[in-house]
Amino acid sequence: MKKRVMRMVAMLLMLITIMSIAGCGKVDTSTWSAIKKEGKFTFACSGGYPPFNYIDDSGKLVGFDVDIANALAEVMGVKAEGITTEWDGILGGLTAKRFDTVIGSMAITDARLEQVNFTNPYYYDGAQFFAPQNKGFKSLADSAVTKVGVVTGTTFQKELEKYSNVKDVLNFSSDVENFIAANQGRTDGLITSRFVGLQAPKEYNLVAVGDLLYNEKIGIAVTKENTELLDQLNTALKTIIDNGTYDKISEKYFGCNILETK
């Protein structure tokens, strides 16, 4: 009886060991080898940041970021699949491996670099205060500017802490909501990307007010351990810059090369 129990215990321990080894050998679906095998990588963006990424009238995800993702994927020999998610949870989604990359106009910051890695910049941008033209503001520091809109989780949100005249910060999930609020008078204005604001539809009646608040480098985010995918993306990015593909995409949306506009 005792020998039988010992034999069962030994078999159970062997089974646990085999399962542990199998678990350790499980392929991470976000690794470059897995991406090549599946034939695609996934990228996340908010889907509410025109003209960089947004949903068009047909319900399709489009924009500069999407075109860049597709161009990179073509060079890498795979497809790119876009996923929309709330901006304030996008880094958590990446580190939890719900998608492979963030190609969603994410600024490279020291705080974010503690969590993820970034490619070389794929464009340069800056934070700009926009307000309705009839307000007559001179800058964000204007004493009459007390209520400002911003998208939750952006670097723009932190910038507002520097302005004592701003008493009320309204958080939105997308810049489309931000534009509407400013146009309707629910805010005095908003902070967003200079390119996003300048490309905003004319019906919002918004103008850039004052100088750029600061400059930003925009990169593609990947998890810390996904170094091979990072190298592949950097190589592909250099290729589309060198062969003129990047310039064509940038001209399509902005009429200039926004990697050269610092």
Interval 2-59: pLDDT, tens: 455 455 545 544 544 444 444 444 444 558 999 999 999 999 999 999 999 999 999 9
Looking at residue 22, what is its pLDDT?
43
Q: Give φ, ψ of 107 to 5 degrees.
A: -75, 140
CA 182 to chain centroid, in Å, comes to: 23
β partners of residue 55? 61
Question: Does position 73 have pLDDT exceeding 90, yes or no?
Answer: yes
The two tokens of residue 114 are: 């503690």
Is there a single domain that holds both residue 120 and residue 222?
yes
Same domain, residue pair 240 and 193? no
Residues 6+ apart with CB under 8 A from 99: 42, 43, 44, 83, 85, 93
Domain contains 8: no
Residue 239 belongs to some domain of the structure: yes
Q: What is the DSSP string of 105-171?
A: EEE--HHHHTTEEE-S-SEEEEEEEEEEGGG---STT-TT--EEEEETTSHHHHHGGG-TT--EEEE
- Are residue 73 and residue 185 in the same domain, yes or no? no
pLDDT in tens, 99-136: 999 999 999 999 999 999 999 999 999 999 999 999 99
Q: Which residues span the domain enclosing 227?
A: 32-124+217-254
Whole-model pTM: value is 0.80
Q: Which amino acid is it at 184?
A: Q
What's 200's domain CATH number? 3.40.190.10
